[in-house]
Structure 1
Amino acid sequence: MPRTRTTAGDRSRGDAPRGDAEVPREGLKIRMEDVARAANVSRATVSRVLVGNPPVAAATREKVFRAVRELGYVPNAMAQGLSKRSSDLVGLLLRDPRNPAYGRLHSLVQEAVSGHGLELITAVPHWKEGAEDELAALRRMLGLRVGGLLVSTGVIKAADLEPFLDSVPVVSVGRVEDHPRIHGVSYNEDVHGAMLADRVASAGHRSVAVLVPTVSVSTAENRRGRSMAVHLEGRGLTVHRIETDAFGQPEAGIARILDLVRDGGVTAAMFPNDIRAMIFLRAARAAGLDVPGDVSVTGCDGIIPGLDLIGLATLRIPVEQVAARGVDVLESLMSNRGGIEVRHEKFTGEFVPGATLGPAA
C-alpha cells in the first residue's frame, strides 16, 4: 500500500510537523511511535496522554490528540492491559438487547461506567445462542484483559464463572445470584412474583396459568414464574404451571394457555416478562378472546415504551438502581481487590396497574 510522504507545514494534508518523516496511513497499522513523531513528542509522552496518568500539559495533550485524530491511530487495548497492573476496561456480558429491559440496562451501565472514568466493552451473543456460545464470548472478552466483569444474562450459570473468579472481579447485575464468591446486584424476583400473584388473587381469580421457563432458558424468568406459582398455591388457588425449555422462543407455551382459556380452565394468565405477555395478548385477540373479560393477563419488567397506552398490568423492575449500584460495586472491587465482603443485594420494583387485569368472571 502506498505511503504518504509528509513535509513540515502542510497540516491540511494530515502532514506531520517533522521534516521528511514518513508516516504509514494504514489504519490499525499506525503505531504509537508514528503518533509521537507526528506530535513531535516522545513515545512515553503519548502513552501518558492516552492513559491519562500522570497529568500532561494541556498543549502537549492537544498535540497528541490531534496526531491521533489525523493518523487514525487506534490504541491496542490488549497491550495496554498487559502493560499495566490493572485495566480501566470493564467487560459486560449482556443478554438479548432486543428485550427492552436488557437494552435499558446496557444504556445505564454505559453511563455509570463512564461516570467512573472507565471504559466499557460489551459482548452480546446472538439471542438464539445458548450457554456455550455465551461462554465463548466471555472468554474472548477476558482475552482483552478487562479489569472487571459485569454479567447480565440469565443463561450462564454461576459455576461457569468460577474458573475466572481468581483472575478478575465479577459482579452479577440484574440476574439472580446466590454464589458465595460472586457479588450480586439484582432484582428481588421472589418478591416480584409474590407481588404480582397477590394482585391476581385479590382480583378474585381462583384458577391461573403461569408460564415458567426452565433455568436453562433464563434463571430470572424461572425464578419469577416459580415465585408466582408458589405464592398463588399458598393462597389456595389452582395453578397450571406451563413449563417451557424452548430457548429463544418467547412464543413457547402460548398455545397451551389459550387452550386452557377456551376450555374455561383458567381466568388469568401470568407471564415472567412483558414480551411473552404481549405475544399472548396478540394471540388472544386473534383467537377472538376478550382481555380481561375472558382472561386477565400480567407481565413483568415494565420497561417497554408505551405500556401505559397498551394498559398491560405489570411490575416495573428498578433497572436504574441496579445498574448504578452494580457498577459502583465493581469499581470498588477493581480498586480494592479482595478487600470487600461478598454481598447479594436485591432491589424491589413497583406494581403497574393496567386494563389487562380485571375481576374474575
Structure 2
Amino acid sequence: MNGGRGTQPTIVDVAARAGVSKSAVSRVLSGTGRYSDETRERVERAAAELGYVANAMARGLVSGRTHTIGMLMRDASSMVYTALHAVMERRASELGYRVVTTTGVGRVEDEKSALAALVSMRVDGLVVCSGLMPASEIADFAPRIATVVAGRPELHPALSSVYCDEVDGGAVIADTVADAGHTAVVVLTVPVGDAITQHARSRAMVERLRARGTRVIDIDASFVRPPEDLAADVVDVMRESGTTAVMCPTDRLMLDLCGALARRGVRVPEDVSVTGFDGVHPLADDWIGFTTFAQPIDRIGREAIDLVVARIDDPASAVEHRSLRGTVVPGRTLRRA
C-alpha cells in the first residue's frame, strides 16, 4: 500500500483500505453516480484514516468542473493588483471557488503563456488583470473558457469587463486641482504601450485641464524613467513656468516623486502640490494624507468574479462591460494656489 513517509495517499490506497473498487471511491468523493450508504461510510472512513485529500484537478476530470478560477496579475508588487486579488479571493470563496494566480513579467508573450498555463490546469474561468496584454490576445481564450477582464477599460465584443472609468477619474481629479486655483500644472503622462489604464487617465487629466484654460506641461513618465529624472524635470519646469502643481498617474509614482523632490529641497505642498491616482490602502491612509482619486476596487473585484462565474454557469450569457466611478480622496498634498 502507498502512503509511506513523505508520500501522499492516493485514490488506490483509499479503495484498498475500504475494500471497494477505485471507481466506487471516485463516485463517493465526487458525489456522482450510484453508491450505497455503506460504501459511502467505508470510503469516508478510509479516506479520513489515510489523510487522503481529493485533488481538485482530478475531480474536474470526472465532473467537468474544478471550481477554480485562474487569475493573471501583471505585477504582484502593485498595491492595486494585490488589493484586487484579495477581493477576488474572498468573493470566489463565497461562491464556492478557489483562485489560482500567476503573474506576468512585463511582456505580452509571457502573459499569454501564463494564461495558457492556467487553462492547462483546467481552471473553469479566467480573470485577466493587466493593462499590458492587448484585447485581441486575451480574446483568443474566450471561445474555450469563460474570460473576464478586470481593472482596465475593455470594450472588446468577446470579453466581459469591469473597470474604473479612467477618463472620468482623470477629469474629476483634474477639476479638483483646477478648483484649487492652480493655473500652471505638470501632468506626468504614461505611453499606452506601458499601461493602458495609466495612459487613459493621464491623457484625461491633460484634456480636462486644458479645457478649463489651465496651462499644462506634459512630462513623459515612461516606466523606464526613474523618479529622480522626473523630479529634475519638474524642478526645471517650476523655475521656467511657475508651475504650482504636479499630477501623477498612480499613488506609487506620487510617493516616489515626493521623495525625489524632497531630496532636491522641494517641499510638498508648500512649494508644489502633488496628486495621485488609485487610492488603495495603505497609500490612501489619512496619516499619509495623499490627495488622490480612489478606484472602486471592492466593486471591481467582486463584480469580476460574479461575471466569470455567470459565464461558467451559462457560456451563452451576454457579454457585459461595467464602467464604475471612483471618488476623490482629499488630502494635505494639495493646497490652494
Give the TM-score of the pair, scaled to structure 2.
Answer: 0.89
Q: Corresponding residue for 1:336?
A: 314
> Is the aligned partner of 1:320 residue 2:298?
yes
For residue 258 of structure 1, report the CA deviation from its aligned partner.
3.3
1:196-231, Cα deviation, whole Å (9 max, x unpaired): 000000011111111121222111111111111111
Q: 1:110 aligns with which of 83, 86, 89?
A: 89
> Is the aligned partner of 1:75 residue 2:52?
no
> Is the aligned partner of 1:38 residue 2:17?
yes
SS in 2 for 1:309: coil
For the residues of structure 1 that align with 2:137 and 2:225, how far apart are their CA atoms?
Answer: 20
Q: Corresponding residue for 2:210?
A: 233
Change (3 A) 1:130 1:253: farther
Q: Corresponding residue for 2:274?
A: 297
For residue 239 of structure 1, report the CA deviation from its aligned partner.
1.4
Q: 1:203 aligns with which of 180, 189, 192?
A: 180
1:290-336, Cα deviation, whole Å (9 max, x unpaired): 21121110001111326311111011111111111111111110001
Q: Corresponding residue for 2:134?
A: 157
Q: Corresponding residue for 1:5?
A: none
For the residues of structure 1 that align with 2:245 and 2:131, how far apart are their CA atoms?
Answer: 26
SS in 1 for 2:315: coil
> Is the aligned partner of 1:97 residue 2:79?
no
Q: Corresponding residue for 1:256?
A: 233
* Contact 1:250–1:275, Cα closer than 8 Å, also in 2: no
* Contact 2:30–2:63, Cα closer than 8 Å, also in 1: no
* Contact 1:90–1:147, Cα closer than 8 Å, also in 2: yes
1:126-170, Cα deviation, whole Å (9 max, x unpaired): 4xx322221221111111121111011111110111221110111
* Contact 2:70–2:126, Cα closer than 8 Å, also in 1: yes
Change (3 A) 1:119 1:203: same
* Contact 2:250–2:276, Cα closer than 8 Å, also in 1: yes
* Contact 2:164–2:324, Cα closer than 8 Å, also in 1: yes
For the residues of structure 2 that align with 1:55 and 1:281, how far apart are their CA atoms?
Answer: 66
> Which runs of structure 2 are paired with 1:55-66 in the superposition (5 Å)?
59=41, 62-63=44-45, 65-66=47-48
For residue 187 of structure 1, report the CA deviation from its aligned partner.
0.8
For residue 83 of structure 1, report the CA deviation from its aligned partner.
4.0
Give the TM-score of the pair, scaled to structure 1.
Answer: 0.84
Change (3 A) 1:161 1:251: farther
For the residues of structure 1 that align with 2:32 and 2:329, how far apart are their CA atoms?
Answer: 47
**Where does the alignment leave 5 or more consecutive residues of structure 2 unmatched?**
none
Q: 1:223 aligns with which of 200, 213, 221?
A: 200
For the residues of structure 2 that align with 1:31 and 1:188, how far apart are their CA atoms?
Answer: 49
For residue 262 of structure 1, report the CA deviation from its aligned partner.
4.1
1:88-140, Cα deviation, whole Å (9 max, x unpaired): 221100122222221111011001111111121111234xx322221221111
Quick one: which amino acid aligns to residue 63 of structure 1?
Answer: R
- Aligned-residue RMSD, C-alpha: 2.6
* Contact 2:277–2:292, Cα closer than 8 Å, also in 1: yes
Worse-matched range after superposition: 235-244 or 181-190? 235-244
For residue 54 of structure 1, report the CA deviation from its aligned partner.
7.1
For residue 53 of structure 1, report the CA deviation from its aligned partner.
5.2
> Is the aligned partner of 1:168 residue 2:142?
no
Change (3 A) 1:298 1:41: farther
> Is the aligned partner of 1:194 residue 2:171?
yes
Change (3 A) 1:24 1:59: closer
Change (3 A) 1:292 1:50: farther
* Contact 1:209–1:257, Cα closer than 8 Å, also in 2: yes
SS in 2 for 1:341: coil
SS in 2 for 1:315: strand
Identity %: 32
* Contact 1:261–1:294, Cα closer than 8 Å, also in 2: no
Q: 1:349 aligns with which of 326, 333, 337?
A: 326
Worse-matched range after superposition: 295-304 or 262-271? 262-271
SS in 2 for 1:133: helix
For the residues of structure 2 that align with 1:68 and 1:121, how far apart are their CA atoms?
Answer: 27
**Where does the alignment leave 5 or more consecutive residues of structure 1 unmatched?**
1-21
Change (3 A) 1:174 1:61: farther
* Contact 2:274–2:333, Cα closer than 8 Å, also in 1: yes
For the residues of structure 2 that align with 1:85 and 1:42, how far apart are their CA atoms?
Answer: 22
1:53-105, Cα deviation, whole Å (9 max, x unpaired): 57996855752552563x5x56262x544444344221100122222221111
For residue 40 of structure 1, report the CA deviation from its aligned partner.
4.5
For the residues of structure 2 that align with 1:244 and 1:100, how far apart are their CA atoms?
Answer: 19
For the residues of structure 2 that align with 1:51 and 1:154, how far apart are their CA atoms?
Answer: 38
